[in-house]
Structure 1
Amino acid sequence: MKPFSPGELPRPPLTTYRLGFHRGFRLAAATRLLPYFERLGVTTLYASPLFAARTGSGHGYDLIDPSRLNPEVGTSMELERLSRELGSRNMGMILDIVPNHMAAHYENPWWRDLLENGEASAFSMFFDVDWTPPQQALAHRISLPVLGEPFRRVLENQELELVFTGTGFAVRYYETLFPVDPATLPPVLSEIRETLRASFHPENDPALATLDLLLSRTEALPARCDNPLAKRQRSRSRRTLQGLLKSLYRESSAFREALEKVLSEYRGIRGIPSSFDRMEALLSTQVYWLSHWKTVTRTLNYRRFFDVADLVGVRMEDDRVFEAFHRLVGEWIKRGWIDGVRVDHIDGLRDPATYLFRLSRLLRDEHPESVPLVWVEKILGRDETLPDWPVMGTTGYEFASRVLDLFTDPEGARQVREWYETRLSPGQGFEEVAYQQKKFVAETLMGGELRRLTLLLEWIAMEERDVRETGFRELQTGLVEVTACMDVYRTYIREDSVPDEAKRRIGRALDLARTRHPNRRQGLFRFFERVLTQGPPPGASPEKKARWADFVLKWQQFSGAVMAKGVEDTALYLYTPLLSANEVGNDPGRPPTGPEDFHRFNRERLDRFPLSLSATSTHDTKRSADVRARIAALSLFSEEWIKAVGRWRRWNRPARQASRGVPEIPDPALEHFLYQTLIGAWPLEAPDESFVRRIEGYLVKALRESKQHTNWITPDPAYEEKVLRFVREILRPERASPFFKDFLALQKKIASSGARISLSQLLLKATAPGVFDLYRGEELWDLSLVDPDNRRPVDYTRRIRLLNTVIDQWSREPKEAFQSFLDSWGDGRIKLFLTWILLNLRKDHPALFLEGAYRPLPPRWEEEQGAVGFFRSLHDRDLLVVTLTTHVSGMANGGIALERPPSGEIPLPEGSADPWLHLFSGVPVSPVMNGNEAVLPLDRVLQNAPFAVLYRGPAPSLPPGNPPSPHQKRGLS
C-alpha cells in the first residue's frame, strides 16, 4: 500500500541533489547556486546534517548538539533565506539526521556533562551506558578504552596532564579532553591554596577567600547518584563553581601563577613513579576509567557506532531523548524550512519501527497540512523488502546494484571470478570470506559489545533447564556463529511481536550454523531459536520478560554492526575479482542479474515505494557510479583483461618487494585491486601528482579496511610504504617498461565503454520508478573513490558555464548538438545534457513519473537485442526508454556513438500509432506497421546513440527563456 497520494504532495521531490555542508561550503553558497540547480531541473536539495558538529567537521555526522545549527555552515538567517529562495522556485529541501549516535567528544555538552557527573548528569539517560557491569571497579563508571598504550605507561610518560580550560579543569590526552568532576577537586584546590599561602601575603590576597569558598562548595556537592533532587542541586552548584573559577582565573594573576605551579606538579617527573600518584588518585575518582584500547573486549560498557570509540550510541527509545534530539527539526519543519528528513543508520536504533512512527507523528503535528517525508538509510538484501514503516522508501543502494547488473556481462564476470579464485587468490569465495570476517569483527572490534550481550544471554540461560550449565565461552561462540550466519543486517523483532520474516531469517541462520558445525551440541542452537524467535515461556515474571526482550533488541543492533563492519568495511576490500560489484548492499559473489529482475524490482517499487530514492553515488559508496561503470566494462573484455593483468604483473615484478614473511608486496590480489582502481579512476586528462596522491590515500584506507597486514588501530607504516612505493614506481611515465603504454591503450577503450554504461544508467535512473538522486557534482564525469576522496570541492563555475553552453547549442540545432555531445563525450557535456533534459522532463510531467504505469519491453526482444527497455504511461502521454546493455560492438573507436545502429523493431502497445519525439535529437520517429502491429524501427529510435528516450504526448516546455523546441515547431503534441 502506498504511503501517500501524489495529490497530497505540494512539492513532490522528483529530483534530489545531495549537498555536503561544512565550513568550506556554507548555506550561503547553496543559496547562490539555486539558479543553477533550478535550471538543471533539481526539485529538492538533500542536505547533509546541519546541526552543530565537531569543530572542522567535513561532513556533519559527528554532531555534538542537535539543538542548534552548526555555526560553521551558517546562521539561522542564512538558513531562512535559503528556504525562502527555494520556495520562490517551488523547490524544497530534505535534511539528513543522525539519531543513532553523537560525537563522544569534549565539545559535546551532553557527553561532557555525562563524563563530569555520571548518573547525576541531566543527560545520563541519553547514552546507552551499562552502569552496573560485572566488573565491580566499573560500577557507576564509564570505561573509555582509548589509550594507545597501557595506563601505567601512558601516565608515567606524562601523556595525561591536568589542565585548566578557562572555565574548568580537564584531563588532556594529546588532542582529547576529559572533564573533571568538580566534587573531586578539593585536593587540587587545597594545593593551590597552600601554594598561594607560601608565595604571597594571604591576608592581603582576595583570591584566598574565593578559594576557600570554592573548597567549601565543592566539598558540599552531592554524590553522583540518580536522585532528582541531588541532580538539580549538583547542576546549580556546578554552574556557580564554574563562574567562580572563571572569575578567579581572569582577575587574579596570583591564582594563575599558583595554578600553573600545581598543574606542573600533577604532570609528574619521568623516572619517578611516585610523582604520578596524585594524578592517578584524581583519575581514580572520575566517572570515566581510562585504559588501553586492547581492553575494549573486557571493559567496554557503552554502545558505540560500530567500533568507532569517539561516536557513542544514543538511547533514542527514551521519550526525553527523542524530544530533545528532534526539537530543532520540528521547529524547522513548522517554519517550512525543510520538507522532510532522511534518517541515517536506521538499523542502529533499538526499535526502528517505534522511532519512525513517532517521527512521522512529530512531523505531521508540526506541519499538519503536509505529508511527512521520511526516507531511511537501509541496506536491503536481494530478497529482503522494506518493513511496513511510515516512510517514502530508502536512499537507493538497492537500485544502484540492480541497474549496474544490466551492464555487467555474466559470462565475462564469471571468467574473471574463476580466474581470480584460482590464480590470484585461491581458496574462498565471497560467502566464506564474509562469514569469516563477520566472526572476526564480532570477536575483536565488537568484542566489548559481544561480551555484554553474552553476559545477558548467560543470565537467561541459567534459568533454562537444558542449557543452565553451558559455559560463558560456549554461549559466546554460539552467539558469534548465529550472527555471522545472518544474511541480512538485522531483524525487526519488537518487545511485543516477532514478525514471520524475522523467524525465517533467524531460522535460515541457525540452519547454516548447524551445517557448519554438525558436531556442536544441537541443544544450544535450539536454545538460540527459542530465545530469538519465541520469547520467554508463558508465565515468566516481568523481570524475566524484560531481560529476554533486552537481549533480543540489543542483539539486533549488534548484528547490524557486525554485518556493516564485517562485510562493507572488510570483506569488500578482501574479495575483489570485479570491484564494480563490491558496493554497499551488493554481493560480489553473486552472478549479475538481467532485465527480468530489474523490471520486477521497478514494478514492486512503483507499487509500494514510488518515492524511494534512485541513487548510483552517495557519500558512502566505495567508488562513484562512473568509476564502477568503467570497472563493470571489464566484464565485456574479460579475456583481454586477464591477459593484460598477466603481462603487467610480469613487467612490474621488479617494483614488488618482500617483507617479514610476505613474499611479495603487493600480493597478486592486491595488485589486481590496484589495476582495477587505476582503470576506474584514471582522469580524462593527463594525470598529475594530485592523482597519484589520491591513489595513495585511497590505498592506505583500503589496506587498513582489509585488516590483513595493517589496520586502523595498529597500522604498519613499513608495509604501507612498500605498497605506495610500488604505485609510484609503476606510474612513472619515464620508467623503462612497456606497462605504461600498454595500460593507457586498454584504459582508453575501457573509458569509452564505461562512459556509455554511465549514460545508460543515468537514463534508467531518471525514468524508472523512484526519485532521481544526484550526488554533488556528478552531473559531469565524477571519477571519485571512497570518502574522503568523494568530498573534494566541486567546480560549480565550470558546471554553470557548461550548462549555459549546452542549452544554447541544443536550443539552436538539437540534432547537431546531440551528435557533438556524443562525439566529444570526454568533456562531460553529454552527461550534463542528458541530466538537464531528463530532469526538466520530470518537472514538466511529475504525475507520469510518480504514478505512470511501468511496462517492460518483451523479455525475448530484450534478450535478442542485448537491450533493456520499458514504457511509462499516464493518460495521454507515454515515454519509451531503451538502452543497449552488454553487447555493444558497433561503437566508434574511442567514442560512444554507434557506427552501425542495430536492426530490429520495438513493438508498441495498442493505440500507439502516433508519432514519437526523440528527446535528445529533436527528431520525430513515426511508427510503421508490421502486419497488424505498430512498431518502431530500432535504428531510427537509437539513431547513432546506444540509448534513447522517446516521448509522445503534450509538448513539454523548456526552461523559461529558451526558444520553442523542435516538436513544438512541428506541432507534434
Structure 2
Amino acid sequence: MTTLRATVRLQLHAGFDFDAAAAQVDYFARLGISHLYLSPIASAVPGSTHGYDNVDPTRISPELGGEQGFHRLSDAARQHGMGILLDIVPNHMAVHPANPWWNDVLRNGRRSAHAGWFDIDWDAPECDGRLWLAVLDRPLAAALADGALHLDIGGEGPCLRHHDLALPLSPLSYPAQAESWPGWIARCQRSLQRMQDVLQRQAYRLGWWRTGADHTNYRRFFDIDGLVALRMELPEVFDAVHALPLRLVAEGHVDGLRVDHVDGLADPRGYLGRLRSGLDRAAIASGRPAEAITLHVEKILADDEALPADWACDGTTGYDFMDQVGALLHDSEAGPALHALWHSVSGDARSFDQHQQQARLQMLQGSLRCDFDRLLRLLDAQRRADPAAADITGGMLERALRVLLQHFPVYRTHGLRSAADRAWLARAADAAAAQLGEGDRAALEQLCVWLYGNPAVLTRFEQLTAPLNAKAVEDTAFYRYGRLLSRNEVGSDPGRLHLPLEEFLLRARQRAQQWPRALLAVATHDHKRGPDARCRLAAVSCNLTHWSARLAQWHELATQAGRPCPLPGAETLMLWQTLLASWPLQAERVDAGFIGRVDGWLQKALREAKQVSSWSDPDRALEQAASDWLAWLGSSPQAAPLRSALDAFVHAIAPHAARLGLVQLALQLCCPGVPDLYQGNEGWDTSLVDPDNRREVDYLQRRAWLGSPPDWQQALQEHWSGGSAKALLLATLLRHRAAVPSLFADGSLTLLSATAGAWVLSRQLGDHQLLLVLDTTARLETPLAPGTLLREEDSERARVGLPAGHWRSLLDARRCEGGDDIEADALLDGAPLAIWVLDNGENDGR
C-alpha cells in the first residue's frame, strides 16, 4: 500500500494507452511520484481523446488496452511501489450509438428499462411526449426532401441514418420478419408520407441542430447536446456506473477516485457518502484499511467559498490552490493601471463582474434556454398550487428567476443546509431585489420560499446554476474581459489580481487542518494556459510601463508594414498577451506549428466570447483575416521587425517569469496538501487551452533531465530556457517528500520573515525542518546576470532570521549555521529560491 504523496495526471487515449503509460512508470517512480492519476478509462466514444464522453461505464476502454492492458499498467505501478487514482464520470454519458443504455431508450422510449436512468422531461412542451434530438444539419422537412434521411439495416435491425449517424427504430415501426425489411425500406423511401409516418412512430423527434437550445428535453452536461445527464441519485444507476471502479478497488488495482463535475449531481453530499461507503467496503475486501482509499472531487470554488465540511471526501483536485498561488505572484498595485490600459484599448470600462452578469443573461436566453424553461415550468406548477402565490404571475416569476440567476455568485448551494449556503442565496437575492420592481420582488420572495421548502425546486435550481456559472464565466466572460489573462483561469476571479502572502498562508493552514490530502495543482487538462505562460503575464503586472510601451510599439510596427491586426481592440490585446505568454524562447520554434497553435486558441477564443464570432454563427471572414495575419506574423519578411520586437520583449521578461515559475513550483511542493503534477510539466509549460494542453509529451527529454548531474547553479545559468532548472527543482523536492513524508503531511507551516527582498517559510515536524526562501521580485529593473536566472548581488537586500542549527541546502552543497540574522543573498545565492533543511544526519532524499 502506497501512501498518497504526489500524483501525476496522465491523459490517456488511443495514441497514449495503458502500455504507453506503463512504459513511463519507472521514470515517474525515479522522479518521486507516488500515484498515477489517470483520465477516465471506461469505454468512450470511438476516437475520444479525453474519455469524458463515456458510452459504457461498466467496461474498460478497448482503445486504451482493455482489462488486460489496465492490469499490465497496474502491475507496473505496483512493482515500482506506486498506486493509481482513477477519474470517474458519474454525471453524464455520450449521446452516441455505441451507448447501449441510450440506444435502448431511443428504441423503446418510456418503455425502456433505462428510460428513468437519464434525466429526461418526456412531457416538455412541443416535444409530443418524445425525446428531442437536435442532430440534423438542416430543418427536418428539408432533410426529408433532400434525401438526407434514409433507412438502412443495421446490426440490430432497421435504423435511420443521417450522414454518419445511425439511430435505432422502434420495433413497433417496422415489420417483424427480417426477410421483409428490404422491401419495406424501399417502399418507405419512395414515399415522403411513409417516411414521415415512420418518424412519427419513433420515441424521439428529430430536429435541426439549431433547435437544441430551445427544445432539448434531457439535461445535458453544460450545454453540450452530445452529453446526457444521468440520475445518479437512483440506487440502480449508482450501482451500475460504479461497479467497475469499485471492483478495481476491491481487486487491489486502484487506490483512489477523482469525481468529475460533482456539482452536476442532484445531491453531491449524499452521493459522496454512498461512494465513500462503497470504497470502504472495497478497500477492506482488498485487504487494505478503508482510509487508504482516497476520494477527491472536481469542485470549482468562488474566491471566498469553502468546500462543504460534511462531504465524505479528501478535498478538491486543486483549482483553489492554482488560483491562490497565481494571485500571490501578481503585483498588488497593478490593478488600476491594468484596468486603465484595458479600457483605453478595448473601449470597455466594465468590471469583470459586469461582464459575467451580462454573459449569464445571454446564456439563459441562448444555449441554456431549455434548462431555464424546464425550471420555470416546475415553478409555475408550484405557483398554481400554492394559494400564497395567487397574485404572482408567470411573467413576474420569470423575471425574478432570471435576475436571481444573473447575480448567483457560486456554482451551486448544497441543499441550503449550511449558513454559508444560505448566505450565498441571500446575497444573490439582495442584489436581484435591488434591480426589480415591487411586483417582481414579491415573486422573488416567493421563489426563495420555494427554494427553502421544496427539494425538487432547489435541486433543479442547483442543477442550472452550475452549468450557468461554467458557461457564462469560464467559457464566455473569460474570453471577453482581458485585463490580464493570467487571472482568467479555471477557479479564479479575474476581478481579483493579487492575494496577499498572509491570506495565502491562512488558506494553506486551513487546508492542512480541514483537507490535508487535498490536491495542489498549477496545471490541469482544463487549464486556459499553462503555469509558466501565466507567470510571464504575472511578470507583466510588475512591468506595466514596459508593457504599455511594447504594445504601442508592436501596433506601430504592424501598421508600418501595412498589416495592422484585423481584430477589434479587446481581441487584439488578448492576442498580444497570448503571443507573449506562449512565444518560444528558441527562435527556430516560432514556426508554422507554433502559429497554428495560437491560431487554434484564437478561433476558440473568438467563438467562446460570442461577440465578433461564435460557434453557432462564426464570422468566417474575420476569422480567416485573423488567421492570415498570424501566418504573416510568423513567416513574412515584412513582419521581421515585429517578430524581432516581440522576441526581444519575451527574452527580456522570460527570465523574470521563469523565476516566478520556480517559486510557484516550490510552493506547490512545499505547502500542505498533495502536489499534482500535470503530464509534461517537468519542463516549462506555456501551453494554451485544450486541445493544446493535451499535446504529446517528450519523455525522452524528461528522462534526460532526470539523469543529468544535479547542479542547481549550472541549471540556472546554462540553457535554463530548455527547462532543466525546473525539472531539477521538481525532482529534488519530490525526493525529499518521499524521504520525510510526515514533514509534508503533518508539519506546521510558519512564516519566519517577509521582507521586500525575501520570504522565508518553514515546514517543521519534530526534528525535521525545511526552510523555503523565496524571491518574488520580477521587475525588469532588477538586474539578472546575462543569459541566466541568477540575480546579481544587491547590497540593499534584507537580512532574514535563520533558526539555530546546522543547515544544508537541498539544491547544492552549501551549508551554514543558524541562530542569527543572515543576508538573504547568502541564502539565495542569486537564485529565485533556496531550500534549506535542518541537518540531523538522516538520509533525507539527497
Does the alignment reach a TM-score above 0.5? yes
| 8 A contact 2:144–2:192 mirrored in 1 | yes
| 8 A contact 1:841–1:956 mirrored in 2 | no
The yes-or-no answer on 1:417 pairing with 2:339 is yes
The yes-or-no answer on 1:50 pairing with 2:75 is no
How do 1:515-664 residues align onto structure 2 when only pairs under 5 Å count? 515-517=434-436, 521-533=440-452, 535=453, 548-653=454-559
Deviation per CA, 1:187-239, whole angstroms, max 9, x where unpaired? xxxxxxxxxxxxxxxxxxxxxxxxxxx34xxxxxxxxxxxxxxxxxxxxxxxx
Per-residue deviation, 1:611:
0.9
How do 1:833-912 residues align onto structure 2 when only pairs under 5 Å count? 833-858=728-753, 862=754, 864-887=755-778, 889-900=782-793, 903-908=797-802, 912=803
Query: Judging changes above 3 Å, is the alpha-carbon distance between structure 1 residues 348 and 123 closer, same or farther for their aligned structure 2 residues?
Result: same
Query: Judging changes above 3 Å, is the alpha-carbon distance between structure 1 residues 705 and 297 closer, same or farther for their aligned structure 2 residues?
Result: closer
Deviation per CA, 1:835-880, whole angstroms, max 9, x where unpaired? 110001001111100100111134xxx2x32543310000111010
Deviation per CA, 1:615-654, whole angstroms, max 9, x where unpaired? 0110011011111111111111111111211222233247
Per-residue deviation, 1:753:
1.7
The yes-or-no answer on 1:939 pairing with 2:833 is no
SS in 2 for 1:700: helix
Per-residue deviation, 1:769:
0.5
Letter in 2 for 1:183: L
Query: Judging changes above 3 Å, is the alpha-carbon distance between structure 1 residues 578 and 301 closer, same or farther for their aligned structure 2 residues?
Result: same
| 8 A contact 1:679–1:750 mirrored in 2 | no
The range that moved more, 642-651 or 347-356, is: 642-651
Q: Partners of 2:274 and 2:634 in 1: how far apart?
A: 55
Letter in 2 for 1:907: G
Q: Partners of 1:737 and 1:340 in 2: how far apart?
A: 52
Q: Which residue of 1 aligns with 2:360?
A: 438
Aligned to 1:347, which of 242, 245, 263?
A: 263
Q: Partners of 2:788 and 2:386 in 1: how far apart?
A: 69
| 8 A contact 2:273–2:312 mirrored in 1 | yes
Deviation per CA, 1:922-944, whole angstroms, max 9, x where unpaired? 2112125xxxxx33431221012
The yes-or-no answer on 1:97 pairing with 2:88 is yes
Query: Judging changes above 3 Å, is the alpha-carbon distance between structure 1 residues 639 and 132 closer, same or farther for their aligned structure 2 residues?
Result: same
Q: Which residue of 2 aligns with 1:448?
A: 370
Q: Partners of 2:328 and 2:349 in 1: how far apart?
A: 28
Q: Which residue of 2 aligns with 1:62?
A: 53
Q: Which residue of 2 aligns with 1:280?
A: 196
| 8 A contact 2:29–2:80 mirrored in 1 | yes
Q: Partners of 2:78 and 2:396 in 1: how far apart?
A: 60
Query: Judging changes above 3 Å, is the alpha-carbon distance between structure 1 residues 656 and 766 closer, same or farther for their aligned structure 2 residues?
Result: farther
Per-residue deviation, 1:465:
4.0
Deviation per CA, 1:42-89, whole angstroms, max 9, x where unpaired? 111000000000100001110000100000001322222222222222
Letter in 2 for 1:680: A
How do 1:743-754 residues align onto structure 2 when only pairs under 5 Å count? 743-754=646-657
Query: Judging changes above 3 Å, is the alpha-carbon distance between structure 1 residues 885 and 339 closer, same or farther for their aligned structure 2 residues?
Result: same
Aligned to 1:148, which of 130, 137, 151?
A: 137
Letter in 2 for 1:375: H
Per-residue deviation, 1:149:
2.5
Q: Partners of 2:764 and 2:36 in 1: how far apart?
A: 27
The yes-or-no answer on 1:926 pairing with 2:828 is no
Per-residue deviation, 1:423:
3.5
| 8 A contact 1:296–1:447 mirrored in 2 | no
Q: Which residue of 1 aligns with 2:836?
A: 950
Q: Which residue of 2 aligns with 1:712?
A: 615
Aligned to 1:391, which of 304, 309, 313?
A: 313
Q: Which residue of 2 aligns with 1:295?
A: 211
Q: Which residue of 2 aligns with 1:28?
A: 19
Per-residue deviation, 1:95:
0.3
Q: Which residue of 1 aligns with 2:599?
A: 696
Aligned to 1:802, which of 675, 689, 705?
A: 705
Deviation per CA, 1:672-721, whole angstroms, max 9, x where unpaired? 11111011111122211111111111111111111112222222222211
Aligned to 2:569, which of 633, 643, 668?
A: 668
Q: Which residue of 1 aligns with 2:29?
A: 38
| 8 A contact 1:443–1:480 mirrored in 2 | no
Q: Which residue of 2 aligns with 1:362?
A: 278
The range that moved more, 149-158 or 283-292, is: 149-158
Aligned to 2:166, which of 168, 177, 195?
A: 177
Letter in 2 for 1:892: A
Q: Which residue of 1 aligns with 2:77?
A: 86
Letter in 2 for 1:881: L
Deviation per CA, 1:766-800, whole angstroms, max 9, x where unpaired? 00101111000110122211111111111112211
Letter in 1 for 2:531: A
| 8 A contact 1:733–1:740 mirrored in 2 | no
Q: Partners of 2:816 and 2:562 in 1: how far apart?
A: 58
Which ranges in structure 2 are unaligned for 5 or more consecutive residues? none
Letter in 1 for 2:264: G
Sequence identity percentage: 35
Q: Partners of 1:689 and 1:657 in 2: how far apart?
A: 19
Q: Which residue of 1 aligns with 2:68?
A: 77
SS in 1 for 2:578: helix
SS in 1 for 2:486: helix
Q: Partners of 1:295 and 1:54 in 2: how far apart?
A: 24
Q: Partners of 1:484 and 1:32 in 2: how far apart?
A: 49
Query: Judging changes above 3 Å, is the alpha-carbon distance between structure 1 residues 179 and 333 closer, same or farther for their aligned structure 2 residues?
Result: same
| 8 A contact 2:585–2:650 mirrored in 1 | no
Q: Partners of 2:561 and 2:447 in 1: how far apart?
A: 52
Letter in 1 for 2:784: M
SS in 2 for 1:93: strand
Q: Which residue of 1 aligns with 2:325?
A: 403
Q: Partners of 1:635 and 1:27 in 2: how far apart?
A: 42
Letter in 1 for 2:290: S
Query: Judging changes above 3 Å, is the alpha-carbon distance between structure 1 residues 740 and 134 closer, same or farther for their aligned structure 2 residues?
Result: closer
The range that moved more, 345-354 or 912-921, is: 912-921
Per-residue deviation, 1:516:
2.8
| 8 A contact 2:86–2:254 mirrored in 1 | yes
Q: Partners of 1:519 and 1:747 in 2: how far apart?
A: 56
Q: Partners of 2:69 and 2:314 in 1: how far apart?
A: 28
Q: Whose Rg is larger?
A: 1
SS in 1 for 2:789: coil
Q: Which residue of 2 aligns with 1:226?
A: none
Aligned to 1:125, which of 93, 116, 131?
A: 116
Letter in 2 for 1:97: I
Letter in 1 for 2:418: P
Per-residue deviation, 1:894:
4.5
Per-residue deviation, 1:373:
0.8
SS in 2 for 1:721: helix
| 8 A contact 1:408–1:886 mirrored in 2 | no
| 8 A contact 2:40–2:50 mirrored in 1 | yes
The yes-or-no answer on 1:682 pairing with 2:682 is no
Letter in 2 for 1:624: G
Number of aligned residue pairs:
835
The yes-or-no answer on 1:775 pairing with 2:678 is yes
| 8 A contact 2:759–2:774 mirrored in 1 | yes
The yes-or-no answer on 1:335 pairing with 2:229 is no
Query: Judging changes above 3 Å, is the alpha-carbon distance between structure 1 residues 169 and 958 closer, same or farther for their aligned structure 2 residues?
Result: farther
| 8 A contact 1:617–1:775 mirrored in 2 | yes
| 8 A contact 1:413–1:638 mirrored in 2 | no
The yes-or-no answer on 1:108 pairing with 2:99 is yes
The range that moved more, 86-95 or 605-614, is: 86-95
The range that moved more, 649-658 or 582-591, is: 649-658
Per-residue deviation, 1:757:
1.0
The yes-or-no answer on 1:138 pairing with 2:128 is yes
Letter in 1 for 2:798: G
| 8 A contact 2:11–2:39 mirrored in 1 | yes
| 8 A contact 1:51–1:60 mirrored in 2 | yes
Q: Over the residues paired in the alignment, what is the CA RMSD in angstroms?
A: 2.0
Q: Partners of 2:395 and 2:34 in 1: how far apart?
A: 55
TM-score calculated relative to the size of structure 1: 0.83
TM-score calculated relative to the size of structure 2: 0.95
Q: Which residue of 2 aligns with 1:197?
A: none
